[in-house]
């Protein structure tokens, strides 16, 4: 990061100089060191998108410690597990999130610093004054940071944040990456330059929560290079368009659910805003329905770039808009130094066109382990490559992803990939969002269920949707049952918590995914 920065960060109606954030980060490093934080240790962060999470992350990086941003959607018991597992001596938390924790959730001896919940978060999440109140007697982050001089000690080897996986197969796992060699740091920077195309003076927008890998990495780039970046408290499609126009945003990181919500805006709303400043939109995290992606490319232009990978392996595969139009459905080609291989259940490498489990390794990124769970790290490796938990195939050098391995449904011995069905169902008239998953079936082993959230005032029946799917997919891919939900359980990014829909159907049957 350069010695001097001149940019600023906009959060709600507040504008904060990037230099002030970095200065507070240096003061925080001094305070963290006083608490005993050393190189390789962890600092826990339970915060929505706000400048203190940037300050705390910067403080940890200066000491060579891992910042651990925690998914604030988690329940108290889940947060307690991560706090205990990461062994952090310090927790920095927004007041409303701290108030939601149950007694005993915070380990004994852990120092807790409170960040008052900012007004934009209170408004966006409809928080009551009582819920957002700073606990009596609590020490605030701002007062604590101001009590220290900027860090003047040795700078530790900068580590990425230690992000905890979503825990689809059990307890969350902390992804703890080693420090990269100078050659790896240089190679990773080159990959990041290709996929994001950042530049000095860019103007960024962070739409997703910082407990996700892509926004977390993007924010660091914005602090170093951006003249300005907007840190959104919560994604709102029209507000995003308005902010792009107002602030002449050039670079964004988004997820497909955001694309879906954008293209669902009325045509007159979509045409209202000038998006000509946008140079690159990096999208990650989930498959994008083909028609949605075509619409976004036609609307925003060839600025959309897809990256496929994981917290464990990094941005291993990339795809420009032009490449995607020439190879519809692909997630792209391996980035430099990346090996991608497809294996069957017996561990045999598969040729082009055959579907199996995706394994990959990007030599530009230092190896990782799972914090305190090296055996789970070892279990996902084959021939030096790491499974990312997805099913897919290669064709002519391009990777195609079918679905998550844990989401694949086997009906009467036939493999069915819910992502394919979801990409069709999401286009059905009246459907706002959907999720398809397997449930127990006495005869077939499993059968398909679709959970559907409708657009406001939509009048759509189960038979309407089954007919729509049957006209576009093989009959065996049509869900046996469609459940309508007023609202599907989802993360702030819009990504659906499919496990919360699926688990009740498997309760008591011994299935854990």
Enter the tokens of residue 180.
């990269």
User: In terms of Cα–Cα distance, which of 48, 283, 56 is closest to 161?
Assistant: 56
According to DSSP, the β-strands at 251-254 and 228-231 are: unpaired
Encode 76-101: b = buried (16+ Cβ within 10 Å), e = exposed.
Answer: eebbbbbbebbebbbbbbbbbbbbbb
pLDDT, position 473: 85
* Residue 475 pLDDT: 85
Residue-by-residue DSSP string for 473-485:
S-GGGS-SEEEEE
Per-residue model confidence (pLDDT) at position 170: 60
pLDDT band at 442; cut points 50, 70, 90 = confident
List, for residues 301-317, the tens digit of each pLDDT value. 999 999 998 888 889 99
| Average pLDDT over every residue of 210-236 | 91
How far is the CA of 285 from the CAs of 115, 322, 332, 392, in angstroms?
A: 29, 20, 14, 15
In this prediction, residues 476-487 reach a mean pLDDT of 92
Which pLDDT belongs to residue 5?
66
Cα 285 to Cα 256: distance, rounded to the nearest angstrom: 8
Q: Do domains 18-159 and 412-506 have the same CATH topology?
A: no
Output the pLDDT for position 284: 86
The domain limits of the chain are: 18-159, 187-336+366-378, 412-506
Count helices and strands in the chain by DSSP H and E runs: 18, 26
Sign of torsion over alpha carbons 138, 142, 144, 146: negative
What's the chain's average pLDDT?
91
Which of 228, 180, 237 shows the shortest CA–CA distance to 202? Answer: 228
DSSP 449: E
The 3-state DSSP composition of the chain as helix, strand, coil percent (nearest 5) reads 35, 25, 40
33 has a pLDDT exceeding 90? yes
Cα separation, 181 vs 442, in Å, equals 54
In the predicted model, is pLDDT for residue 236 greater than 90?
A: yes
- What integer pLDDT is reported at residue 510 of this predicted model? 46
3-state secondary structure of 438: strand
- 170: number of Cβ within 10 Å: 11
Q: pLDDT tens-digit profile of 352-393?
A: 999 999 999 999 999 999 999 899 889 889 999 999 888 899
Mean pLDDT in residue range 102-128:
94
| Average pLDDT of the segment spanning 148-168 | 88
The yes-or-no verdict on residue 493 having pLDDT over 90 is no
412-506 fold: GMP Synthetase; Chain A, domain 3 (3.30.300)
pLDDT at 168: 45
Reported as a single tens digit per residue, the pLDDT across 412-438 is 777 788 888 998 899 999 999 999 999
Q: Which of 253-257, 319-323, 352-356 bottoms out in mean pLDDT, i.e. has the lowest?
A: 253-257
pLDDT for position 266: 94
Q: What is the pLDDT of residue 494?
A: 66
**CATH no. of 187-336+366-378:** 3.40.50.12780
Q: What is the mean pLDDT of residues 164-177?
A: 76
- What pLDDT was estimated at residue 6? 77
Mean pLDDT of 77-100: 95
Lookup result for tokens 């759509």: 460
Which residue's entry shows tokens 């955001």? Answer: 258
Q: Which fold has domain 18-159?
A: Rossmann fold (3.40.50)
The token pair that represents 305 in the structure block: 């770039």
Contacts of 108 (CB under 8 A, 6+ apart): none
Residue range 333-338: average pLDDT?
A: 94
The answer to whether the CB of 9 falls within 8 A of the CB of 18 is yes
**Is the separation of the CB atoms in 331 and 308 below 8 Å?**
yes
> Residue 45 above 60 pLDDT?
yes
Q: Full-prediction pTM beyond 0.85? A: no
What the block records as the tokens of 187 is: 């190679």
The residue behind tokens 């891992």 is 66
- Residue 216, classed as helix, strand or coil, is helix
- Bridge partners (DSSP) of residue 450 are 436, 482
**pLDDT(492) > 70:** no
Share of the chain above pLDDT 70, in %: 96
Average pLDDT over every residue of 492-498: 73
Query: Is the confidence at residue 491, as pLDDT, over 80?
Result: no
pLDDT surpassing 90 at residue 286 = no
Tokens standing for residue 476: 């065996």
């Amino acid at each position: 990061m350069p010695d001097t920065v001149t940019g600023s960060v906009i959060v709600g109606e507040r504008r904060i100089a990037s230099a002030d954030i970095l200065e507070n980060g240096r003061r925080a490093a001094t305070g963290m060191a006083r608490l005993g934080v050393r190189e390789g240790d962890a600092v826990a962060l339970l915060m929505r998108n706000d400048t203190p999470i940037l300050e705390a992350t910067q403080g940890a990086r200066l000491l060579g410690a891992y910042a651990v941003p925690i998914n604030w959607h988690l329940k108290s018991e889940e947060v307690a597990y991560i706090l205990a597992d990461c062994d952090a001596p310090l927790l920095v938390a927004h007041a409303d999130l701290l108030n939601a924790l149950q007694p005993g959730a915070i380990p004994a001896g852990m120092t807790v610093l409170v960040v008052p919940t900012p007004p934009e978060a209170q408004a966006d999440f409809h928080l009551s004054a009582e819920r957002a109140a700073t606990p009596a007697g609590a020490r605030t982050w701002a007062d604590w940071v101001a009590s220290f001089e900027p860090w003047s000690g040795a700078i530790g080897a900068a580590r990425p944040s230690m992000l905890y996986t979503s825990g689809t197969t059990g307890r969350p796992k902390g992804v703890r990456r080693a420090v990269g060699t100078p050659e790896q740091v240089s190679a990773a920077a080159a990959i990041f330059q290709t996929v994001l195309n950042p530049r000095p003076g860019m103007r960024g927008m962070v739409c997703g929560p910082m407990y996700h890998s892509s926004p977390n990495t993007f924010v660091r780039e914005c602090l170093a290079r951006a003249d300005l970046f907007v840190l959104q408290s919560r994604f709102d499609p029209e507000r995003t368009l308005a902010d792009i126009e107002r602030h002449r945003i050039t670079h964004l990181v988004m997820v497909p659910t955001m694309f879906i919500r954008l293209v669902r805006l009325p045509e007159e709303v979509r045409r209202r805003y000038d998006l000509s400043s946008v140079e690159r939109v990096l999208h990650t995290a989930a498959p994008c329905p083909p028609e949605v992606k075509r619409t976004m490319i036609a609307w925003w232009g060839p600025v959309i770039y897809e990256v496929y990978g994981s917290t464990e392996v990094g941005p291993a595969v990339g795809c420009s808009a032009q490449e995607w139009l020439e190879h519809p459905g692909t997630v792209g080609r391996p980035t430099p130094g990346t090996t991608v291989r497809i294996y069957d259940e017996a561990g045999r490498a598969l040729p082009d066109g055959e579907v199996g489990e995706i394994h990959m390794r990007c030599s530009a990124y230092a190896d990782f382990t799972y914090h305190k769970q090296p055996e789970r790290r070892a279990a996902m490796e084959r021939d030096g490559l790491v499974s990312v938990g997805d099913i897919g195939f290669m064709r002519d050098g391009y990777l195609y992803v079918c679905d998550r391995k844990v989401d694949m449904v086997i009906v009467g011995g036939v493999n069915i990939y819910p992502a394919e069905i979801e990409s069709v169902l999401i286009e059905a008239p009246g459907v706002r969002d959907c999720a398809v998953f397997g449930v127990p079936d006495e005869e077939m082993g499993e059968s398909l269920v679709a959970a559907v959230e409708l657009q406001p005032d939509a009048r759509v029946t189960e038979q309407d949707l089954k007919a729509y799917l049957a006209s576009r997919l093989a009959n065996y891919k049509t869900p046996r049952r469609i459940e309508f939900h007023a609202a599907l359980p989802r993360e702030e990014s819009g990504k659906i918590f499919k496990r919360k829909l699926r688990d009740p159907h498997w309760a008591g049957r011994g299935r854990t995914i």
